[in-house]
Amino acid sequence: MKPTLLVLAAGMGSRYGGLKQLDEVGPNGETIIDYSVYDAIRAGFGKIVFVIRKNLEEAFKEKITDKFEGKIDIKFAFQEVNTKIEGIDDMPERQKPWGTGHAVLVAHDLIQEPFAVVNADDYYGIEAFEKMANFLSNECNESHYSMVGFQLKNTISENGSVSRGVCSSDENGYLTTVTERTSIRRIADIICYEEEEVKYLLDDDTVVSMNLWGFHHNVFEHSREMFVEFVKNNSENPKSEFYIPLVVNDLLQSDSIKLKVLTSTEKWYGVTYKEDKDDVVAAMQRLHDEGKYPKALWNETSV
């Protein structure tokens, strides 16, 4: 059974100022999602599940999925601010979605096979998808998960600070912890993050998570149990978010899983800020010019 790709595309794009999932960055109007799907098909994924907001469904199909209809199985799951999860009778009222962990949970009925999770607005590159597809097809099981780690220097925006999951691994390349660091930026020749107005240095080659995870489908049950407890404990905190790394760290600390870090040396591209778009457009053009992608991504003979 081929693995599935779960694409998280329900984010509001608050810092970017718009629906960046639908932004054109390729020479033929391609979005970043187009490149992720194209690379996933080449790598051997068999199904794509998109997590979106229900009110975006028609625009999303018209702009994104109609282009590759028939090339891969496509499903949709919907994440609203308070999409209900089994085990919770009354979701607390709030204005902000519950986060990436909740986004994964809304897709649980559509996935029964090993699957990868990606952000809709991050370009990961073919190497990352090939390594993940190989792991999911040949190594993944109920206690063996994975992630693709990127070198921090390849994930920095020139137009503002970013947040990254800083990863620690053991001598065998298995993840021990992932710690969210915010306000990461390059200042002159160094990369640092800020915490309580104190700056801390980070090495250029620090391995960070860009939210490309590889899971056995049993992660849904682990996540659901944690989310039920999380909602109970945060019912009065409207800004609390249930992130995927919370689940991963809990499973690691309880020795329930081992998580293999698959490293990529490719450069990440994304549109965290509006000013990032020109850089991404230029990068995609170079990749086409170098022959890494065909002139037209979704022509009749592609993938």
pLDDT of the chain, 303 residues: tens digit per residue? 899 999 999 874 444 445 556 788 999 999 999 999 999 999 999 999 999 989 888 888 988 999 998 999 999 999 988 888 888 888 888 888 899 999 999 999 999 999 999 999 899 999 999 999 999 999 999 999 999 999 999 999 989 999 999 999 999 999 999 998 989 999 989 999 988 889 999 999 999 999 999 999 999 999 999 999 999 999 888 889 999 999 999 999 999 999 999 999 999 998 888 899 999 999 999 999 999 999 988 875 667
Longest dimension (CA), the chain: 54
- CA dihedral for 162, 285, 75, 17, sign (positive or negative): positive
Answer CATH for 4-141+207-250+267-289 from 3.40.50.300, 1.10.3470.10, 3.40.50.150, 3.90.550.10 = 3.90.550.10
Half-sphere exposure of 80 (CA within 13 A, CB side): 10
Determine the pLDDT at residue 160.
Answer: 92
Task: Kindly report the pTM of this predicted structure.
Answer: 0.93
Residues with Cβ within 8 Å of residue 23, at least 6 apart in sequence: 31, 32, 271, 277
Structure tokens at 99: 């986060």
Crossing angle for the helix pair 126-138 and 32-43, to the nearest 10 degrees: 40
